[in-house]
Chain A
Amino acid sequence: MSDFLDEVEACVPALRRYARALTRNADLADDLVQDCLERAISRRRLFRPTGPVRAWLFTILLNLHRNGLRARHRHGEMLSLDAIAEPATAASQPGHIALAELARAIETLPLEQKEALLLIALEGLSYGEAAAIIGVPLGTLMSRLGRARAALRLLTGTPAEPHLRTVK
C-alpha cells in the first residue's frame, strides 16, 4: 500500500504539468490533480496492480476534466483572460514558434485532439498507453494526433517551409 502511495507521489509532477496544459490555469489544474489523487487513493483497492499506476492516474484525471468541462458548460463556461485568443502575430523568426501564440493555438484545439497531443508531446507516453488512457483505438489516437499537429501548423503560421531549408 505504501508502494502504491510512493508510485502516486512520483506521478504528481507529471499530473500537475498535464493538468496545467489542459486548463491553462494553475489553481484549476491543482484542484483537478487533488480530485484525481483523492479518487485514486480512496479507490486504491479497486486498482488492478497489473497496469502502471501512472496510466490509471491519467485516466482518472482526464475523466474528471471532461466531467468538469461538461458541468461548466451547463453553468456557462468561465474563461481566464489569457485563454482568450488574440489575433495571431507573425512569428518573429521563421522556423521559430512563438510560445504565446502556440499556447493560444493549443487552446483552440478540440479537447479530444488537445488531450491526445499533450499526452504524446508533453508527457512522452507511448501511443498504446495514450490510446488506453483516452479510451480509443490506436488508429483514432493517430488521426487525432495528425489533425492536432496540422491545425497547430496552420494556426501558428509556420508553413511546411521547405524553401527555407537547404537540402543537403
Chain B
Amino acid sequence: MSAPSRDTLMAFADGQLDATAREQVEAFLGANPEAAAEVASWTRQADAIRTLFEPAGAEPVPARLHPRRMALAMTTRRNRLWRQALAATVLIGMGLGAGWLARSWVDAPAPSTILIADAVRAHDVFVAENRHAVEVAASEEDHLTSWLSNRLETPLVAPDLAGEGFTLVGGRLLPGAVAAGGRAAQLMYENGARDRVTIYVTAALPDREPAYQFTTLGDAEAFYWANARITCTVVGTLPGPQMQTVSQAVYRQLTGTGEKTSTRYPS
C-alpha cells in the first residue's frame, strides 16, 4: 500500500479513523518503525496532556459555575432591572405630565406682553394705510364710540388730544387676546406733521389689577396700563417727551382720574 499521509497518521493516533482505515495504517506502521515511533510520540503527548489537565475537569464545580443557579440569578437580576426601568419610566412620565400641566405657568408670556405686542402690530399695520387707515372715520365719532363700547362691553370715549396737537382719525374693531375678552378697539390720531398715534383698548384682564409698563418694540414706543375696567396701550413713534405727554393725556382721560394723573403716571 502507499504510505498514508501525515493527516491520516494523526487521525489514527487520535482514534478518528474507521475500522478499515485503522487496519491499513496498523499494517503500514508495522512495516515502518520510524512512522510508528512518530505516531507513538503523538499518543504519548496526548496522554501527557490529559494527565496534566484532566484533574481540572474532575474538581468539584464551584457554585458560581452552576448553570441552573446562574440562570435563576440572571432572571432575578433582569427582573430587577426591568422593575427599575419601569419605575424610571413612570417617574419620567409623571415629570412630563406635570410639566405639561404646568406649561401655562411656565411658558405663557404675561398677558400685558401679548397685549402690547398686539397693539404695536396693529399700529404698524394701520398707520401705514391712507384711505383705509380706519374702519369708522372721526366724522362718525358718536357711532364709533358707542359701537366699540358695545363690542368691548365697556364704556369707551375717544380721548380729546387737541391739546397735544392730535386729532382723531377714526377707529376700528380688531380681534384681541382671549384673556382680555377677545376683542380690541384701535383709535388713531394724527397731528399736523402727519405723525400718527394709536390707542389700543381692550376690556380688563381677569385679574383686574392696575399695571403700568413702558416698552420699546422696534421703532415704536408703547405705554401700557391696565385698571379694573380696561387695558390701554398707547403706541407711537414720537420723540420720548412728546410720547409721554400724549400718553399722559390718554391715561388721564380714559381713567377719569385726571387730578391724580401727575402722581400716578410713572416717570
Binding site for B on A (CB under 8 A): 5, 8-9, 12-14, 16-18, 20-21, 26, 29-30, 33-34, 37-38, 41-42, 95-97, 99, 102-103, 106, 117-118, 120-122, 124, 126-127, 142, 145-146, 149, 152-153, 156, 158, 160-162, 165, 167-168
Contact = CB atoms under 8 A, between A and B. Distances in A.
B11 A127 contact: yes
Interface in B37-82: 37-38, 40-42, 44-46, 48-54, 56-59, 61-62, 64-68, 70-71, 74
A160 B59 contact: no
Name the interface size band of chain B.
35 or more
Chain A contact residues: helix, strand, loop or mixed? helix
Interface string B1-35: 00000110011001110000000000000100110
B66 A9 contact: yes
Contacts of B36: 165
Q: Which of B15, B38, B57, B61 has the most CB of A within 10 A?
A: B57
A105 B44 CA distance: 14
A146 B11 contact: no
Given A5-B71, A13-B58, A30-B64, A97 B53 contact: no
Contacts of B48: 97, 99, 102
B92 to A, nearest CB: 27
Given A21-B52, A146-B6, A153 B45 contact: yes
Contact of B34 (A41, A97, A162): A162
Nearest to A42: B74
Contacts of A126: 16
A160 B7 contact: no
The listed residue with most B CB atoms (<10 A of its CB), out of A8, A41, A126, is A41
A26 B57 CA distance: 11
A150 B6 CA distance: 11
A11 B201 CA distance: 88
A160 B37 contact: yes
A38 B66 CA distance: 10
User: Which of A18, A121, A161 has the most CB atoms of chain B within a 10 A radius of its CB?
Assistant: A121
A12 B61 contact: yes
Given A41-B70, A146-B10, A165-B36, A26 B65 contact: no
Contacts of A13: 57-58, 61
A149 B37 CA distance: 13
Contacts of B6: 146
A14 B136 CA distance: 100
A149 B57 contact: no
6 contacts: A17-B57, A21-B56, A37-B65, A38-B74, A122-B50, A161-B37
A97 to B, nearest CB: 5
Given A121-B14, A160-B41, A165-B33, A16 B71 contact: no
A149 B39 CA distance: 10
B26 to A, nearest CB: 12
Contacts of B62: 30
Contacts of B74: 38, 41-42
A30 B61 CA distance: 9
Nearest to B78: A42
Given A41-B67, A127-B16, A145-B10, A17 B61 contact: no
A97 B44 contact: yes
Nearest to B15: A124
Contacts of A17: 53-54, 56-57
A29 to B, nearest CB: 7
A29 B10 CA distance: 28
B65 A121 contact: no
B57 A168 contact: no
A33 B62 CA distance: 11
B65 A30 contact: yes
Given A102-B49, A167-B33, 10 more contacts: A21-B53, A26-B56, A37-B65, A37-B67, A38-B74, A99-B48, A106-B49, A153-B45, A158-B41, A168-B30
